[in-house]
Structure 1
Amino acid sequence: MRQDAWTTEDDSALAEVVLKHIRDGSTQLAGFNEASRRLGRTAAACGFRWNACVRKQYRKQIELAKEDRKEKKSQKIQAQLEGGDYDHPTATLMSWAQVLRFLRQEKNTAQQWASRWRAAQRESNEWKSKYDHLNRESSQMREELQRLRKDYETMAADHRALVDIVERARKAAFLDGDDMSAGFIYRIDEYGNLERVNPDEPHQQAE
């Protein structure tokens, strides 16, 4: 026989531990972990042995353990509904005063949640109002920016036109051989052309 072979006592110990976990509402994996510490084997080896051999031999005990688990769970739920503690030996049914107190507590809890919900709604409406206000301000600022850009483009065009007029006047004076410091008068006709005006002649100053 191999030294690590499973004996009847090992199978019984494994079954005892796993059935206890089933009755207590725990998992088989937790049972394998406990059995591994008890038998000096790995949890994987215990799980393999259980599924391969032991479980088939303890089918009836497994069903009984599951029934015990259901009964314990039902009793615990019933004790909780009655206001008692299932694990406490003096657990009793709730009195009408306890029932009334329980219902009042539930009502207060519901009112608290309703109050929190209303507060959350008010806060949400406030944030929505702030968002709408900021959105309107942003739209106004965009419109103002567009207007300023148009004004800037108009002023830039006027500045370029003025610089062009001055440059044309300077070139015309240079071509005529006049001294810039001597003074001269030019005017722009209706077609945008420069026209030399004799300073001695009367002229109308354009506005």
Structure 2
Amino acid sequence: MRQDAWTTEDDEILAEIVLKHIKQGSTQLAGFNEAARRLGRTAAACGFRWNACVRKQQRYRIELAKEERKKNKSQRVQAQLEGGDADHPTATLMTWAQVLRFLRQEKNTAQEWASRWRSTERQLNEWKAKYEALEADYKRVCEELRELKSTHDAITRDYKALLEIMERARKAALLDDDLIGPKFAEGFMYRIDEYGNLERITTGERMEQAE
């Protein structure tokens, strides 16, 4: 048998120490350190032995230790709330000074939350006002854009109509030059009727309109 072999007694000592730390709310690492000093081993060796062997054998006791730790913690919290000592069996009542201190703390907490609420409400109103202003600007810009588009469309239509009129006049002038000749082309001129069409006027018609 190896000199460093674990005995049943060593396992029991390791289990007792680790379970004690679990009940007290301490860490298993602290238990391994204590067991190492008592057994003359390293903390790493104790941890390895616990995880590899002892923990599986002590599952039931581990659950009980956890339950006891939870119970002890609950008792300590209750004692702190009541202002007494958790280990004293009659520590269930609060003194008037403790009651007043508790009420002052609650009052301060309530005032702090009320202040935060008012600050948040002011910020909300500021953001709401900014949003409404931006929304109004957006509507105004959209209306201006709509008017600009309408004006642009009207100008585009007028420009196209003017180009069509100029193109008709150019074609009509070329046609007169080709058919009549430059000698007789001087006797004609053109006018635009109410529909935007070109109408040729002879020299005689011009004289009649002049009369």
TM-score (norm 2): 0.69
Distance 1:202 1:78, change over 3 A: same
- Rounded to whole Å, the distance in 2 between the matches of 1:11 and 1:172 is 119
Q: Which runs of 5+ in 2 are unaligned?
A: 88-92
Q: What is the SS of the residue equivalent to 1:186?
A: strand
TM-score (norm 1): 0.70
SS in 1 for 2:45: coil
Q: Indicate whether 1:41 and 2:45 are aligned.
A: yes
Q: Deviations over 1:77-113 (max 9, x none)?
A: 24422447879xxxxx864234213211210211110
Displacement of 1:195 = 1.3
Structure 1 vs Structure 2: percent identity of aligned residues? 55
Partner of 2:156: 156
- Higher helix proportion: 2
Secondary structure of 1:176's counterpart equals: helix
Match of 1:189 in 2: 193
Instruction: Pick closer, same or farther for the CA change 1:39–1:116 going to 2, 3 Å.
Output: closer
Relative distance call for 1:75 and 1:190 in structure 2 (3 A) is: closer
- Compare 124-133 and 163-172 and name the one that shifted more: 124-133
* Shift in CA distance, 43/140, structure 1 to aligned 2, threshold 3 Å: farther
User: For 1:176-196, what per-residue CA distance to the aligned partner results, in whole angstroms no more than 9, with x for missing partners?
Assistant: 2259xx8x7421123432012
User: AA paired with 2:129?
Assistant: S
Query: Matches of 2:162 and 2:63 in 1, distance apart?
Result: 103
Match of 1:90 in 2: none
Measure the CA separation in 2 of the matches of 1:167 and 1:13: 113
Q: Match for 2:11: what amino acid?
A: D
Which residue of 2 is the match for residue 168 of structure 1? Answer: 168
User: What's 2:20 paired with?
Assistant: 20
CA distance in 1 between partners of 2:198 and 2:66 (Å): 111
Aligned-residue CA RMSD in angstroms?
3.9
Letter in 2 for 1:96: W
Find the partner of 1:51 among 43, 55, 72.
55
Cα distance 1:68–1:194, how it changes in 2: closer, same or farther (>3 A)? Answer: closer
2:73 alignment partner in structure 1: 73
Q: How many residues align?
A: 193
Pick closer, same or farther for the CA change 1:67–1:160 going to 2, 3 Å: closer
Q: Which position in structure 2 is the counterpart of 1:201?
A: 207
